Amino acid sequence: MPLDKPYQGVPGTTIFDADQSRKGYWLNQFCMSLMKAPNRERFKADERAYLDEWPMTEEQKQAVLARDLNRCIELGGNIYFLAKIGATDGKSFQQMAGSMTGMSEEEYRNMMIGGGRPSTWTPPAKEKK
Amino acid sequence: MARITASVYTSHVPAIGAAMDLGKTEEPYWQKVFAGYQFSREWIKANTPDVVFLVFNDHATAFSLDMIPTFAIGTAAEYAVADEGWGPRPVPKVEGHPELAAHIAQSVIQQDFDLTLVNKMDVDHGLTVPLSLMCGQTQAWPFKVIPFAVNVVQYPVPSGMRCFRLGQAIRKAVESYDEELNVQIWGTGGMSHQLQGPRAGLINKEWDNRFLDRLLDDPEGLASVSHVEYVKEAGSEGIELVMWLIARGAMADVAGGRKPTLKHRFYHVPASNTAVGHMILEN
């Protein structure tokens, strides 16, 4: 019997379950390594060389280099782990979250001040597959 | 005997810690958040417990994908403040209560909840931000803390009902400890937020406020809310709210006692990406 995953139909949302976790194991472990200051320094000095020390897929490495967090999540990343990349870059959590929405930093910040995104939100038609 | 005198519920947004650490609390944006905790800071001074049993989630800090305990109780004498990627927060280390923690572990495991015992862990913003919100900037935390980490990061995560029943088991455990101790239980994290994907920034004020209403008046009914409702209505990270049900389950009325007194309730949008919710209940 397949696992019941009722959470899969929510638009613009990827739930980090055991399948995603397996896919993203090394990507997320790389993120954890950034909790040590010397590792942050080595990553900042040569991102590609540091990433090559991890058995991540090339796609995962490219997504990290491009700071494409939506792609990282698709490839098994989890936002609590990916936050360590933002911390290393000196970015706030709000800047990181905003970067995934297709809005500018200011637009996202203003949306939050205005009360946030409604739970009835659906993605614009062009983004639907 | 030890007894649970009150429960505290609060969001634990990392940016709140950063605002305090970087001296931004007087900025209009943050003032609105901290205004909701003015009462709480006076209240905790007048009602300082011996121990806080602090329910929080580890944000990929002490637990990597190597090990993911569903429920983990800290049995150490002290806990260092974690470096989450921008250096450790400049707050005091956290002192534990190993004797009471070991007692609770023994009692709760014998009530059929499988806890992971943790003798060494660094604690992240999930634990330190609630302490800062309630106690302000201080040289030392005014009570001991038993950290209790719940997995709400990788599915499967525990149901609201399991959390609620666990709270009941924790209350029994505390009350079977011989020493006279004033214990508070804090449930932290949550209110609506989504930190990921094109739907990031979701806030559902109506749902959040109904959650707060039901937390006080109908906790058992609230415990039946499904994971998928949290995700749809409160955003993917709104699932952190199941942790509040552990604290609520430990209150006296759940075991046939008197309904708790609502001392304080606060709700505000936004703090960074989330809504901030806060409540104090006394037994």
Domain boundaries, chain B: 3-282
Cα-based distances in Å from B46 to B34, B251, B279: 19, 20, 17
pLDDT at B37 over 60: yes
Percent of chain B, pLDDT > 70? 100
- What tokens were used for A28? 């997320």
The string of pLDDT tens digits covering residues A58-98 is 999 999 999 999 999 999 999 999 999 999 999 999 999 99
The three-point CA angle B276-B28-B134 to 5° equals: 45
Q: State whether B86 and A90 contact (CB < 8 Å).
A: yes
ipTM of this model?
Answer: 0.93
CATH superfamily of B3-282: LigB-like (3.40.830.10)
Q: Which fold has domain A15-89?
A: Protocatechuate 4,5-dioxygenase; Chain A (1.10.700)
Q: State whether B200 and A117 contact (CB < 8 Å).
A: yes
The string of pLDDT tens digits covering residues B122-153 is 999 999 999 999 999 999 999 999 999 999 99
User: DSSP states of A41-107 as a string?
Assistant: HHHHH-HHHHHTTS---HHHHHHHHTT-HHHHHHTT--HHHHHHHHHHHT--HHHHHHTTTTS-HHH
pTM confidence score: 0.96
Q: State whether B197 and A14 contact (CB < 8 Å).
A: yes
Question: In angstroms, what separates the C-alpha of B130 from chain A's closest C-alpha?
Answer: 18
Handedness of CA B193, A83, B72, B80 (dihedral sign): negative
Least CA distance to A97: which residue of chain B? Answer: B195
Q: State whether A70 and B207 contact (CB < 8 Å).
A: no
**Least trusted range by pLDDT, from A115-124, B191-200, B227-236:** A115-124
Q: What integer pLDDT is reported at residue B101 of this predicted model?
A: 98
Question: In angstroms, what separates the C-alpha of B189 from chain A's closest C-alpha?
Answer: 13
Question: In angstroms, what separates the C-alpha of A52 from chain B's closest C-alpha?
Answer: 20
Least CA distance to B208: which residue of chain A? Answer: A119
